[in-house]
Each structure stands twice: as C-alpha cells, then as structure tokens.
Structure 1
Amino acid sequence: MNYIELKLTVNPEFADIFMAELGEIGFETFTEESYGLNAYVTEDLFSEEAVDEIMERYLAMTPISYSYSTLEKKNWNEEWEKSYEPISVNGLVRVRASFHEPDDQHRFDIVINPKMSFGTGHHETTSMVLGIQGSQLADEHQGKKVLDVGCGTGILAIMAAKLGASYVSAFDIEEWAAENSRENVELNHCEGVVVRQGTIDDEPADLYDIVLANINRNILMRDIPKYVTFMLPKAYLVVSGFYEHDIADIEQVANEAGLKKTFFDTKNNWASVVFERE
C-alpha cells in the first residue's frame, strides 16, 4: 500500500500540535524539517477533508501552506539510497546501510535499511537514545530484558541486543515498520529480538529491566503510566521524541507514575530523559 506525504510549511513551534492533530486522523510517521513538518499516512486512512478541517482551525494563529504527494515503497528506497550516509554516535556505534562497508574503528556496527520507517539514527532523538544505551546504560543491558515501544526500523532493539540483552520485545503500530524491523534484526544477526505489529495496549504482560520509547510528547504524556506496569523495580525508562522545553511536563507525568529522573541529554533543542522506577 502506498503512503500519502503531507508537506506542511508552518512555524516550527506548532510542529508538536500538528503531530498530535494529524495523529488523531491516522497519520503515523512524522519528520520535522526546517520549513515545518512532513507527515505520512496510508492511502486507505487519508482524508483530505479531515486535513483541511485541522488547517482551517489554525490559520488564524499562524501562516500555513501544505501539499500532498503519493510515496511508493519502491521509490522511497531509491530516494534514501541516494543520500543516506553512515553516522557515528559518540565514536561508539556506527549506523550504516547494507551497501556501506563496515568500519572496525567503532565497537558496534548497526546495519539499517529503513524503507518507510525513518529510524536511521540521523535524527537527534534516535542518536541520543543510542548514546544513552551505549554509555549511561551500557552495563544495564547485559543479560537483561528490554521493551522497545514504537520500534520504527528496530534500531534501538538491535542496539539493546548488541549490548547483551537476553530478550528484546519490540513493537510498532505501523505494519511496514514491524516488517522493516524484522528485516533489520535479521541483517544484524540479533537473536532474542521479537518484533510484532501492535501497541502498548496489546503488549503481552511481562516485566522488563529497560523500556525504550522514542515516540513523541503527546503519546509519552498519555502512555508513561502504562509503560511503568511493564517495569521491574529499579528498571529504567528512556524517553525521547520531544523538545527540551517539554522536559518538565514529561517529568511530572513520570514522577506521578513512580519514576525519578536520573539523566537527560539535549541536542538541537531535542531532549532524551532517563527515568528509574523507585
């Protein structure tokens, strides 16, 4: 099935608001750009009338322009292969595509062929979580169980496995993301990683040592209390996908759910925070 790309030119301060609004009408994946926002939805869920209604409500608050295009799976692969360069995170892990040669100067080598899932490590939130996994929580993965919420390409689940996790459960609401994660897990020869399509609401009951959630502010604000039900005492929750100015709101929800902040990182106004269950 094809995807519809909505290219939205708007004040970046409104990006979170539009992600939340568009998420309510079926849009699943978002990338923030210098001009505003790109949002993606499957053709079967796309409603131009629903998008127009959202835009009309905000026209009095900020200038808005937007356009649509159809994004085919095969064309997406061609596009990212043209511009996808490997990245290095803290000199510890290198993320590359399968057509790049490995580099033995890094301790960890992760191969990601992303398709529609936008989890290549290039975005600040993904690279920060990878850095936290490989530094602050490196020893905490060894022989432990990890839950990856909204896994995208599976990059964080793969990192957890490479750090020695005994079992990783990963899921994403998007069918293509779950499919892509499975392919990338196989590319990286990771055992003990189980990927499924779904949400936190249908995640099988279990307890984990680490929960990873690189999603967005609104989902985190809603679902952090649910994540806690999957956490062992002294377990860690790593969250990202929001701005630095959102840390206080995220922390309040986490505190009310029995978590305390132990570490945070910021990069280009994006933030990642580590919480521990008390």
Structure 2
Amino acid sequence: MYELILLAPVQEVETLSEALDALDALSVSVEDADAHTPAEQALFGEPGMPPPKAGWERSRMVSLFATEALARDAASVLALQEFFAGCQLVAVQPVPEQDWVRLTQSQFTPVEITPDFWIVPTWHEPPAQAKQVIRLDPGLAFGTGTHPTTRMCLQWIAGQGAAGKPLGRVLDYGCGSGILAIGAAKFGALDIDAVDIDEAAVGTTRANAEANHARLQAGLPDKAVGTYQTVLANILATPLRVLAPLLCAHVEKGGNLVLAGILERQADELKAAYSPYCQLQVQQAQDGWILMTAQF
C-alpha cells in the first residue's frame, strides 16, 4: 500500500477529496498542516451546529492507494488540473507494515470510574484494586467510558450503589454500547431496559451485556414501557430537550432522572425544558460537561 501526501489550501480540500476518490484512493484523511507548530489552528465545533470554519488554512491530505503506480498516476493527473495550482505534492511513499490490531488496542487502556470500579478492554488485565469491572471493547456505538459524560453517569450509578440506594427498575434511553445499563446491572439492578434508535447499538448492547454476564432487555425505543425507578439518558442537549415529556413520563414517583451529554452553558435551557415536570439540578461537572439529575 502507498500513500500520496499533498498540501492544499482550505478552498481546494473538498475538490481534491472528490478527485482522489474518483482516482481510486482507498481513503483520504485531512489534518492541519501546521499541527504541533505555533501556527496550529484548533477547530472546535458543537454537535448539531455549523463548524466555525470550513477547515485549516493549510491542510495536509493523505490518501491511500493499493499500488505505487496508482498513487503516482493520481499525482500526475492532479498536477494537470487548474484547481491544483495552489497545492503541493509532498511525497508518494510506501505505508510501513504495522500490526494495526495491536496499534489500535494500545490506544485503549483501563478507565477508572471510581478507585474500585473500572472499564477494562478485553485485552487488558483488570487493575488489582478493581472490585467491579465492565469489560468493553470499542465498537460502532458510542460509550467506552473515556468521555466525561459516560464517566459521570457511571460515577452516579456507583454512588447509588455505595450509598445502599437501590436503582430499582432501570431505563437506559439512547444506550449506545450499553455501558450504563451494564453498569446498573453491576450495582444491583435486576430489571433493565436499554433502548436506542440505532439497531447497530442495540446489537452492540446485547453483545456487551452477554460478555459482562449482565441481564437486560435491549431493543428499539418502543421497548421502553411503563415507569422506572432510574431513567438514564446520555445523549445531547437538543434531543434531551425534545424528549423531556417522554423521559419524565417514564420516571416513577420517588424515582431518579439522570441526564448527560450537556455542556455547562446549556444548563439553564435544560432546566427550562424540564421545569413543567421536575426540577433539574447540576449534579457534577467535568471538562466542560455536566451531569443533571432530578428526583420525582
């Protein structure tokens, strides 16, 4: 396998990407050409909002080709195009052989939720201090325990367990990988429904639950029936606002609603959306994200 490396101004990145695709590139990646220099530009966007900028002023584009001939032919064709005038060919070079499985696995290490509760990939041994462990591998669905929203939800679940407060019947709405539902099972919940609009997430949840010997029912959102002592929803602020009446209708009297996927600056709008049903409070904050809870 060979890679063709180009430098391109922001206005030509999309055109180049389309041209490389047409020239049989197996993949195309784009990164800041000035990364790790004083000229580096950080681009931070928010879910559901337009990006603040179209891209970096100078982009490094790396495209993969099956053979050297294909990569060099692509470079020759691109050099003749008018849109390539402001671009630059950096290199055509072989991709070094690597153990990609081991390389990928090395990026995921055990995640501490509490000192004795850990998320541990299957290829790692649990830490000696771990009393509760969720075995979870990265998959297509969101939720590996590394994101602050997931950690805060799991810390809340563990806190309930440590305080001797039963979770009762549990609903994990927008279950993703199933990590919150599995966490609830680890801390004593026996009747758990995990639902998601994505069928792939439902399948991932079932597989992860089986791997962790966690008993739960996973399905599409219509599988959430009746009321629950604990309702967990780690999604994003916009769908959480829309789902306010539905989620609150699923919480039984005396039960708990636990919401995550919310930025700190979105706290007031979530409080307003849920005010007809409950009084949401900020329970915890990590790295700009917050956990909000309410008791009914």
TM-score by length of 2: 0.67
| Aligned ranges 1:218-229 → 2 under 5 Å | 218-229=238-249
Instruction: Give the SS at the match of 1:16.
Output: coil
- Coordinate RMSD, CA, aligned: 3.1
Query: Are the aligned partners of 2:260 and 2:291 in contact in 1 as well (CA < 8 Å)?
Result: yes
Given candidates 15, 26, 30, the residue that maps to 2:46 is 15
| Closer/same/farther in 2, CA of residues 183 and 177 from structure 1, 3 Å limit | same
Are positions 1:190 and 2:214 aligned together? yes
Q: Deviations over 1:111-143 (max 9, x none)?
A: 012311131100011001111111156557636
- Give the distance between the partners of 1:175 and 1:7, measured in 2 at CA: 30
Residue of structure 2 equivalent to 1:38:
none
CA contact (8 A) 1:141 1:164 kept: no
Name the residue aligned to 2:292: 273
1:253-272, aligned counterparts within 5 Å?
Answer: 253-256=273-276, 258-272=277-291
Q: Corresponding residue for 1:65?
A: 55
Q: 1:175 to 1:263 in 2, by over 3 A?
A: same
Which AA in structure 1 matches 2:150? T
Q: What amino acid is the match of 2:290?
A: A
Structure 2 regions of 5+ residues with no counterpart? 1-26, 33-41, 64-99
Q: Which runs of 5+ in 1 are unaligned?
A: 19-57, 70-75
1:43 maps to which residue? none
Identity %: 27
CA distance 1:169–1:247, shift in 2 (3 Å): same
Q: For 1:95, which of 86, 107, 119 is the aligned residue?
A: 119
| Contact 1:263–1:275 (CA under 8 A) maintained in structure 2 | no
CA contact (8 A) 2:167 2:229 kept: no
1:233 aligns with 2:223: no
SS of residue paired to 1:182: helix
**1:160 to 2:184 alignment:** yes
State the alpha-carbon separation in 2 of the partners of residues 251 and 168 from structure 1: 27
CA distance in 2, matches of 1:248, 1:5: 41
**Correspondences of 1:6-45 after superposition (within 5 Å):** 11-12=43-44, 14-18=45-49
Cα distance per residue 1:138-189 (max 9 Å; x no partner): 5576361000011111110011011111210001222221111111111111
Q: Distance in 2 between matches of 1:5 and 1:168?
A: 42
Aligned match of 1:81: 105
Q: 1:96, 1:112 within 8 Å by CA — same for their partners in 2?
A: yes
Matches of 1:88 and 1:140, distance apart in 2 = 21
Query: Offset of 1:7 from its aligned partner?
Result: 7.8
Q: Normalising by structure 1, report the TM-score.
A: 0.71
Write out per-residue CA displacement over residues 247-275 of structure 1, whole angstroms, 9 at most, x where no aligned residue. Answer: 1111111122x212355111110111111
Point out 4+ residue stretches in structure 1 off by more than 3 angstroms: 4-11, 76-80, 136-141
Which one of 230, 234, 242 corresponds to residue 262 of structure 2?
242
Contact preservation (8 Å) 2:172, 2:232: yes
The alpha carbon displacement at 1:108 in A equals 1.1
Contact 1:146 1:168 in 2 (8 A): yes
Tell me, yes or no, if the aligned pair for 2:271 and 2:281 is still in contact at 8 Å: no
SS in 2 for 1:125: helix
The residue number in structure 2 matching 1:127 is 151
Report the equivalent of 1:27: none
Task: Go from structure 1 to structure 2 and tell me whether the alpha carbon gap of 1:242 and 1:253 turns closer, same or farther (over 3 Å shift).
Answer: same
1:218–1:89 distance in 2 versus 1, CA, 3 Å: same
- Alpha-carbon distance in 2 for matches of 1:226, 1:87: 32
> Considering only CA atoms, is the larger Rg found in Structure 1 or Structure 2?
2
Kindly state the Cα deviation for residue 92 of structure 1 after the two structures are TM-superposed.
Answer: 3.3
